[in-house]
Amino acid sequence: MTTLPTVELTVYAYECDAYGHLNHATAVALLERARWESLARGPGIDLFHRNGVMPVVRKATVEYRAAVFPGDVLRVELTVAERGTTSWTVRHVVTRASDTMPVFDGEVVLVCLDRTGRPTPLPDELATLLGPRTSGAHGTRRVVVAGGSAELAVDVRGDGVAVLFVHGFPFDRTLWRHQLAALTRYRRIAPDLRGVGESRGTSDEYSMARYAEDLAGLLDALDVRRAVVCGLSMGGYIAFEMVRRYPERVRALMLCDTRASADAEDARRRRDELAALAGRDGPGAVGERLIPNLLGAATRAERPEVQEQLLAMSRRYSVPGMAGALRAMRDRPDSTRDLPKITVPTLVMVGAEDPTSPPAVMKTMADAIPGARYVVVPAAGHASPLEQPLASSRAMADFLDGLPASEATG
Ligand code: MLT
């Protein structure tokens, strides 16, 4: 993704409402100001004029995260999330400069019009500035791995230390949408695993080893030698496999809502029943069976959209992808004896109400990993990064910011 110059803007009192907050209209206007400022720092604000075209906004969405007040200085990171023939999408990640608190993100689709008001192909100078055409939606890349047996869809954002986000089951990469927006000082890499979401798996091979191999191939393709591996639940099982197989690729670990033990006999039987359900009634039926029982009470009561988002993720599995994930989890090795051998900095994070990897289990796991940091996220269940995005992202940012220099830069 092409990055445009980052800008800092001060919020003025006239941009705020009677309660002193930046209001919606001015948030959108502020994003526009940021784009012009960014142009002023790059090719100049006469870029469109000198090429005989004008940009118009076709769609703008803003997602708010925290209140903004007069006098706040906001840092706006701009990336070209998508580039077509006549249009492009700019993603804005807005943080408060004083403490890097994420305050809102915006996504704006612009179209290039000629002097008669018709859409027209981007002039060369603009096309060069915005970078190569993207194929997938929102700048998603596609990377072929494992000798062509899978093609992974992956979101890659920002620069800095690489953080590889590995989703759990039955979720996809959008589980990490808030962390991708918030952790702006890091290179965030979030793939869909094979057979999930927009990724394809062309073979029937599913195992923790295969997933780990896919991810090592993904890091190769992105030219990343070492990454902080952040895995939630099944993503944690894969993170353990990466530590076993590719220790040199793992800079640090963030283990969320996961467990080190293998499946007991009854759990193995339930995996087979769920695989049969996916084959009979579709992957969404498995989501409907599992997801309502995974969330915290506050999420269920106050944020029904979180459950909807998770159900939508489960529907994006292919049947082989879902059955394969269930088999891979059923047959995964026990990682308990590996815990004391982990030598990289590790964050162990759990939702206070996680029913499947409860705090007591996670605490025991953290105690077995030398020097691990243990954090409980209040009012969250099994999907803590989505249920409590601010608290989860803050815990991750604190951990990442505190990595020793050799971990942070090596
Ligand atoms: C997950 O979130 O990945 C699952 O709960 C893992 C599991 O079923 O063991």
pLDDT at 272 over 60: yes
pLDDT band at residue 134, thresholds of 50, 70 and 90?
A: low
215 pLDDT exceeds 80? yes
Does residue 154 line the site of ligand 1, with CB under 6 A? no
Q: Using CA atoms, how far apart are residues 239 and 359, in angstroms rounded to an integer?
A: 19
| 3-class state of residue 5 by DSSP | strand
The Cα 243–Cα 342 span in angstroms is: 8
For residue 356, the ligand 1 atom closest to its alpha carbon is: 5
Considering only CA atoms, give the Rg of the chain.
22
Q: Helix, strand, or coil here: 215? A: helix
Note whether 375 and 349 are within 8 A (CB).
yes
Of 227, 223, 202, the C-alpha closest to 212 is 227
CB 76 within 8 A of CB 6: yes
Q: Which of 233, 258, 266, 291 to mutate to test the pocket of ligand 1 (most atoms within 8 A of CB)?
A: 233
Strand order in the sheet with 87-96: 2-10, 73-83, 87-96, 102-113, 54-64
- pLDDT of 136 > 90? The answer is no
- Report the Cα 42 to chain-centroid distance in Å: 28
Q: Is the pLDDT of residue 410 over 50?
A: no
Mean pLDDT of the region 131-159: 80
Say whether pLDDT at 409 is over 50: no
Mutate to test the pocket of ligand 1, among 176, 326, 329 (most ligand atoms within 8 A of CB): 329
Give the pLDDT confidence of 221-255 residue by residue, as tens digits. Answer: 999 999 999 999 999 999 999 999 999 999 999 99
* Strands 373-377 and 346-351, sheet pairing: parallel
| Distance from Cα 177 to the centre of ligand 1, integer Å | 19
Nearest alpha-carbon partner for 32 in 50, 2, 49, 7: 7
**Tokens 């409590």, residue located:** 388
If you ran DSSP here, which 8-state letter would residue 85 be given? S
pLDDT digits (tens, 9 = 90+) for 350-384: 999 999 999 999 999 999 999 999 999 999 999 99
Phi first, then psi, for residue 79 (nearest 5°) are -130, 150
- The CA distance from 170 to 325, in Å, is 9
| Residue to substitute in 171, 232, 234, 269 for testing ligand 1 pocket (most ligand atoms within 8 angstroms of CB) | 234
Segment 265-279 mean pLDDT: 97
CB of 168 closer than 6 A to ligand 1?
Answer: yes
Please count the other Cβ atoms lying within 10 Å of the Cβ belonging to residue 211. Answer: 27
Average pLDDT over all residues of the chain: 92
Q: Is 248 helix (H, G, I), strand (E, B) or coil?
A: helix
Q: From the CB of 169, is ligand 1 less than 6 Å away?
A: yes
**Cα–Cα distance between 1 and 133 in angstroms, integer?**
10
Confidence of residue 260 (pLDDT cuts 50, 70, 90): very high
Q: How far, in Å, is the centroid of ligand 1 from the Cα of 332?
A: 12
Q: Which amino acid is at 9?
A: L
Q: How far is the CA of 394 from the centre of ligand 1 (A)?
A: 23
Contact criterion met (CB below 8 Å) for 250 and 226: yes
**What pLDDT score does 240 carry?**
98
Please give the single-letter amino acid code of residue 98.
S
What SS3 class is residue 171? coil
Q: What is the mean pLDDT of residues 50-64?
A: 89
Residues in the chain: 410
Q: For residue 21, how far is its CA from the centre of ligand 1 (angstroms)?
A: 40
Element spanning 145, H or E: strand 141-145
234 lines ligand 1 (CB under 6 A): yes
- Cα(234) to ligand 1 centroid in Å equals 5
**pLDDT > 50? residue 77:** yes
Ligand 1 centroid – CA 31 distance (Å): 38
How much is the pLDDT for 168?
98
Ligand 1 atom closest to 257 (CA)? 2
Token pair for 163: 């953080």
- pLDDT of 406: 60
**Beta-sheet pairing, 150-157 with 187-191:** antiparallel
The pLDDT of residue 135:
47
Does the beta carbon of 351 sit less than 6 angstroms from any atom of ligand 1? Answer: no
Q: Tell me how far the alpha carbon of residue 236 lies from the centroid of ligand 1, in angstroms.
A: 9
The label of the residue with tokens 């001060």 reads 10
Minimum CA distance residue for ligand 1 atom 7: 234
Phi and psi dihedrals of 34, rounded to 5?
-60, -40
Locus of tokens 């964050």: 347
Residue matched to tokens 């073979």: 203
Instruction: Taking residues 45-69, report their average pLDDT.
Output: 90
Q: Whole-angstrom Cα distance, residue 199 to residue 339?
A: 31
3-state secondary structure of 150: strand
DSSP state of 121: P
Calpha distance 200→38 (Å, rounded) = 37
Which atom of ligand 1 is least distant from the CA of 382?
2
Q: For ligand 1, atom 4, name the residue with the nearest CA.
A: 169
Share of the chain above pLDDT 70, in %: 97
For ligand 1, the distance from its centroid to the CA atom of residue 327, given in whole angstroms, is 12
168 CA → ligand 1 middle, Å: 6
Residue type, 205: E
Structure tokens at 230: 């952040």
- The finding on whether 329 has its CB within 6 A of some atom of ligand 1 is yes
Reply yes or no on whether the pLDDT at 70 is more than 90.
yes
- The pLDDT confidence band at residue 407, using thresholds 50, 70 and 90, is low
Is the Cβ atom of 23 under 6 angstroms away from ligand 1? Answer: no
Answer yes or no: are the C-beta atoms of 215 and 242 closer than 8 Å: yes
Other beta carbons less than 10 A from residue 403's beta carbon: 18
For ligand 1, whether the C-beta of 181 sits within 6 Å is no
Predicted confidence at residue 38, as pLDDT, reads 94
Q: Which range in 107-111, 198-202, 275-279 is most confidently predicted, on average pLDDT? A: 275-279
Work out the average pLDDT over 86-93.
90
- SS3 percent helix, strand, coil of the chain, rounded to 5, is 40, 25, 30
